Amino acid sequence: MRSARGLTLAALAERSGLSLSTLSRLETGLRQPTLDLLLPLARVYELSLDDIVGAPESGDRRIHLEPRALAAGGVVVPLTDYPGRVQVFKHVLGPREPRLTRHEGHAWIHVLAGTLRLLLDDAEHVLAPGEVAQFDAMTPHWFGPADGLSVEILHLFGPRGERPVTRIASVESAAMSPTLASDAEQA
């Protein structure tokens, strides 16, 4: 790594603050790398510690997000990968024709940006940023942008009907939400 960057051992020692003998022993394998030695080297090489040590990718979707194009228009980014448990997705949906669908499970949608049009059976709902909807996915449904632009949502889906449960609601949020207000009064 050092020679590929055209650095002498003395130049690396000066930039990193590590001694020539320590760097020499690291390069020849006579000394094991420790965090105290790797951090200054990562700073000099402008690399992450993972890159310095050649760490394998973790495979954690939260770190290595893999956006996928949707056939009906838009992009979905899976944020979790827990088979049989609640799944979390970020969607950016573009204009598309409504087509009702139904399937097992429970859906919870939070609008991040744009305006969402949600069709539930024969009812049409329009949600703005910060608003939330949840419904039984066996109800015929469709969601997409309300205004011909795009809409960004956070989508939680419980494949076996799992649903969000509000455990704590502050006084301010209870006052703003009739559902939370009635839950808080019953507590």
Q: Splitting the chain (187 residues) into consecutive groups of 10 residues, what average pLDDT does each group show?
A: 88 92 90 84 85 68 70 84 84 92 93 96 96 94 93 91 77 54 44
Instruction: Please give the pLDDT value at position 126.
Output: 97
Q: Give the model's pLDDT for residue 55.
A: 66
What strand order describes the sheet that includes 87-93?
Answer: 68-69, 75-78, 87-93, 151-158, 106-113, 132-136
Q: How many CB atoms lie within 10 A of CB 116?
A: 26
Domains and CATH numbers, the chain: 3-53 (1.10.260.40), 68-183 (2.60.120.10)
Q: What is the pLDDT of residue 143?
A: 95
pTM confidence score = 0.59
Residue with tokens 């970020």: 90
Tell me the average pLDDT of the chain.
83
Cβ-based neighbour number of residue 144 at 10 Å: 24
Q: Which two tokens stand for residue 9?
A: 């051992």
pLDDT digits (tens, 9 = 90+) for 139-171: 999 999 999 889 999 999 988 878 777 788 776
Here the tokens at position 124 are: 């049409």
pLDDT for position 63: 59
Which residues fall within 8 angstroms of residue 62, CB to CB, at 6 or more apart?
Answer: 79, 80
Q: Are 98 and 150 in contact (CB under 8 A)?
A: no
